[in-house]
Amino acid sequence: MAAGRPPPDRAPDNRATVSRSTIARTAFETTCDLAATLAECSSGRELRTGGFADDVAVAGELDVSTAVPLRIDGAFAAAE
């Protein structure tokens, strides 16, 4: 990598980030089983191997939460 150039995932114009988000959106929109898709992707397998299988399972749940955390002044807070 040339001196002074950011690595590809830190490109100033966010091309790599946009590509990843496009891939994630496409995967989400086309999967029949979100939980299985997440569990079997490379990151999901890595997390499961590292002892985070429950976290991967929770990430694959869809339309189960009645609330979301709010980030206020850099910290998560309960909604009022």
According to the model, what pLDDT value does residue 57 have? 95
| CA distance readout (Å), 67 to 34, 74, 77 | 20, 19, 12
- The encoded tokens of residue 78 equal 């309960």
Prediction pTM value: 0.59
Domain boundaries, the chain: 8-77
Q: Average pLDDT over the chain, rounded to whole?
A: 83
Instruction: Give the pLDDT band of residue 54 (cuts 50, 70, 90).
Output: very high
Instruction: Give the pLDDT band of residue 3 (cuts 50, 70, 90).
Output: low
CB atoms within 10 A of CB 20: 12
